[in-house]
Structure 1
Amino acid sequence: MTPRRVALMFPGQGSQRPGMGRPWLGRPGWSLVDRAAEASGRDVAALLLDAEEDELRRTDNAQLATFVLESVILGELREEMEAVRNPVACAGHSLGEFTALTAAGLIDFDDAVRLVVARGEAMRRACASAPGVMSAVLGLDAEPLEAAIAEIRTAGGLVWVANLNSPQQSVLSGSPEGVALGVRAAEQLGALRVVDLPVGGAFHTPLMLSALSTFGRAVDATRFHSSGIPVVANVDAVAYADGGHWPDLTKQQMISPVRWSDTVRELTGPLGCDLLVEIGPGRALAGMAKAIAPGVERMSISEPAKLSLLAA
């Protein structure tokens, strides 16, 4: 049988939920929770087991908890399927890009924990100084939406298309007033639905510039490796396996749109992946992939019962 060409995908902030670590408690992969606690100085187990929705919504908590849970699940999956130990490529949505870098061997786990902590804290402070919101626009092509949002910015509104998730799903990000104007424009263009996202700021926009300077120092202090497994970058949907590219890419990601549609096309086109495995809480990336590359098999692994899907 021809070996599967597997791509690993990792979701980002907004996929978290209370108690999401409970199904994995006591399993071998849980040892990474203790390791992450030591590297971060945070009670990571409490975030995964006991944190309420409001606590998990806080940017720094959401990012650390989601990254560590994805790493726990990845460790478990590697015991079940050879192709997960040696994927063709990896990719992660926003925060998930740091799990992808770890999975590919481009950054060590402890260093990634420290980067995620620095990123979350910097973004939380930026959110406090420049409050923002994000809303997903469903059922509307990105091109007319981007044109309408550009007009709003020309008139002084603070709103951007921050995530290009699928052919019919984009995310607006900016000030509450700017996003409200963007939502109104989307509805006038015929959007089927708009959904407010459970995040704490205007991510992937210039409103995160103050976070970039702080986070950039943490990036500059981090060692990136080269790897035989590339990661497709959010900022340009290009696959990079040379660690020298990633310091700049991880910085630019904070203020640039996430080009997820193009990322999935890169995975399933030039890279030739025929199985997309989403690792982490929720099923959002698998749903997006269905819209982007409907002929490619995909699955989501968020709880131990799903491990048998890959072992089969």
Structure 2
Amino acid sequence: MTDRETTGGALDGTAPRTALVFPGQGAQKAGMGQTWRDTASWGLVAEVSEYSGIDVEELLLKTDDETLRRTDLAQIAVFTTEVLAHREAEAAGLLGDVVACAGHSLGEYTALHAAGALPLADTARLVAARGRAMRACAERSPGTMAAVVRLGPETVEALVTQVQEDGGQVWIANVNAPGAIVLSGTAEAVDRLAELALENEGKVIRLAVGGAFHSPLMASAADDVREALAAVHFAAEHLPVVANVDARPYASGEHWRELELNQLTSPVRWEESVRTLADDLGCTRFVELGPGRQLTGMIRRIAKGALTVPVESAAALAKLAAPEAPEAPEAPENPETSGTPEPR
């Protein structure tokens, strides 16, 4: 194992260029706040509850998995655990030389907060408003999502076009990693594409989600989110955040209202975003902050040789922050399952 593989830095010993990344809805699970309950940052939970109007402590400690699938509750719960992980990792000195941030769908809001683009109060209000708007829109325009595996992007695009030409409503919603594409659409259109995928030796895995997120079926959510975005103040300058909609880095608050509105109905270009972080911004170390390790699995398939540091719990953080604790690459993940739980 080389020095770069164990430290994430260059062979000359310079500090690795670090990207902070934050997962999206789908990473939630019952009791996920318990690991952070005894940390110094736990008081942030009460703050987020006040700003959002939701009892977040109840969500993080007592709410069951089925209830946490509700879009508005899942989003504020995941966001809060990401803020806790970020604050604790920062206090422990684990973040290092951070040069950029990115988040998968919902996680983009936490990335904006971590980058200094938004204060906590405004970010929590936005996340709460976004969750409510997306839930209401999904009830008006029912849909679903599904992961496609074992098929290349060109084949998936061709199958989507075929279903659309037959009148079906289905779109590519996430391009997460090589071989990991997520679709959004009506249940009937997704079922039809699943049939076509089997004929092409592919496989479609339906996801337990509440709507066809990141597709035109989310268009009616834009009005409510637009109003919430108009009420917050973005910093004129902040650490670069790579946007989901075009995989470009932005370091000015003037762009984010439009970007977040577009994100509702546009695909998440996560694979391309990671390449921007690694190739264009020179990041060799990726710190994932929040529940689960889904982004870590994706990143290891995209940025070969990059160091991934998942901070999913206080125990994991303590282990990483211990004196002389090595940061080493993890084993590769199953390409059929890695990347599928992060639809929004």
- In structure 2, which of residues 120, 134, 140 is the aligned counterpart of residue 123 of structure 1? 134
The match for 1:32 is 44
2:246 is aligned with 1:236: yes
Q: Give the match's secondary structure for 1:160.
A: strand
- In structure 2, which of residues 101, 122, 130 is the aligned counterpart of residue 111 of structure 1? 122
The match for 2:85 is 73
2:307 is aligned with 1:294: no
How do residues 38-77 of structure 1 correspond to structure 2 at under 5 angstroms? 38-77=50-89
Q: Give the match's secondary structure for 1:282.
A: coil
**Given the two structures, how large is their TM-score scaled by the length of structure 1?**
0.96
Point out where structure 2 has 5 or more consecutive residues left out of the alignment: 1-12, 326-344
- In structure 2, which of residues 161, 164, 181 is the aligned counterpart of residue 150 of structure 1? 161
Alpha-carbon displacement from aligned partner over 1:218-276 (angstroms, at most 9, x marks no partner) = 11221111334100000000000010011100110010000000000000001000101
Q: Could you tell me whether the CA contact under 8 Å between 2:21 and 2:102 is conserved in 1? A: yes
Q: Could you tell me whether the CA contact under 8 Å between 2:35 and 2:315 is conserved in 1? A: no
- Distance in 1 (CA, whole Å) between partners of 2:161 and 2:119 is 39
- Distance in 1 (CA, whole Å) between partners of 2:275 and 2:236 is 23
How do residues 2-13 of structure 1 correspond to structure 2 at under 5 angstroms? 2-13=14-25
Q: Could you tell me whether the CA contact under 8 Å between 2:89 and 2:95 is conserved in 1? A: no
Q: Give the match's secondary structure for 1:257.
A: coil
Q: How far off is 1:82 after superposition? A: 5.7
Q: Partner amino acid for 2:117? A: L
Q: Could you tell me whether the CA contact under 8 Å between 2:163 and 2:170 is conserved in 1? A: yes
2:193 is aligned with 1:164: no
Q: Could you tell me whether the CA contact under 8 Å between 2:285 and 2:306 is conserved in 1? A: yes
Q: Partner amino acid for 1:305? A: A
Q: How far off is 1:310 after superposition? A: 4.7
Q: CA RMSD in A?
A: 1.2
Q: Could you tell me whether the CA contact under 8 Å between 1:14 and 1:197 is conserved in 2? A: no
Q: Give the match's secondary structure for 2:14.
A: coil
- Distance in 2 (CA, whole Å) between partners of 1:182 and 1:278 is 32
User: What fraction of aligned residue pairs are identical, expressed as a percent?
Assistant: 47
- Distance in 2 (CA, whole Å) between partners of 1:301 and 1:292 is 19
Q: How far off is 1:50 after superposition? A: 0.7
Q: Could you tell me whether the CA contact under 8 Å between 1:173 and 1:203 is conserved in 2? A: yes
Q: Give the match's secondary structure for 1:87.
A: strand
**Given the two structures, how large is their TM-score scaled by the length of structure 2?**
0.88
Q: Give the match's secondary structure for 1:269.
A: helix
Q: How far off is 1:79 after superposition? A: 1.1
- Distance in 2 (CA, whole Å) between partners of 1:251 and 1:93 is 15
2:100 is aligned with 1:89: yes
- Distance in 2 (CA, whole Å) between partners of 1:67 and 1:56 is 13
Q: Give the match's secondary structure for 2:309.
A: strand
- In structure 1, which of residues 182, 198, 210 is the aligned counterpart of residue 208 of structure 2? 198
- Distance in 2 (CA, whole Å) between partners of 1:310 and 1:287 is 22
Q: How far off is 1:280 after superposition? A: 0.8
Q: Partner amino acid for 2:195? A: R
Q: Give the match's secondary structure for 2:221.
A: helix
- Distance in 1 (CA, whole Å) between partners of 2:273 and 2:156 is 20
Number of equivalent positions: 310
Q: How far off is 1:101 after superposition? A: 0.3
- Distance in 2 (CA, whole Å) between partners of 1:58 and 1:186 is 29
Q: Could you tell me whether the CA contact under 8 Å between 2:160 and 2:171 is conserved in 1? A: yes
Q: Give the match's secondary structure for 1:273.
A: coil
Q: Could you tell me whether the CA contact under 8 Å between 1:137 and 1:169 is conserved in 2? A: yes
Q: How far off is 1:187 after superposition? A: 2.2
Q: How far off is 1:309 after superposition? A: 1.8
- Distance in 2 (CA, whole Å) between partners of 1:35 and 1:116 is 14
Point out where structure 1 has 5 or more consecutive residues left out of the alignment: none
The match for 1:18 is 30
The match for 1:207 is 217
Stretch moving more, 143-152 or 56-65: 143-152
The match for 2:233 is 223
- In structure 2, which of residues 168, 171, 191 is the aligned counterpart of residue 180 of structure 1? 191
Q: Give the match's secondary structure for 1:276.
A: strand
Over 6 Å off, 4+ runs: none
Q: Could you tell me whether the CA contact under 8 Å between 1:12 and 1:92 is conserved in 2? A: yes
Q: How far off is 1:87 after superposition? A: 1.1
2:286 is aligned with 1:276: yes
- Distance in 1 (CA, whole Å) between partners of 2:229 and 2:279 is 31
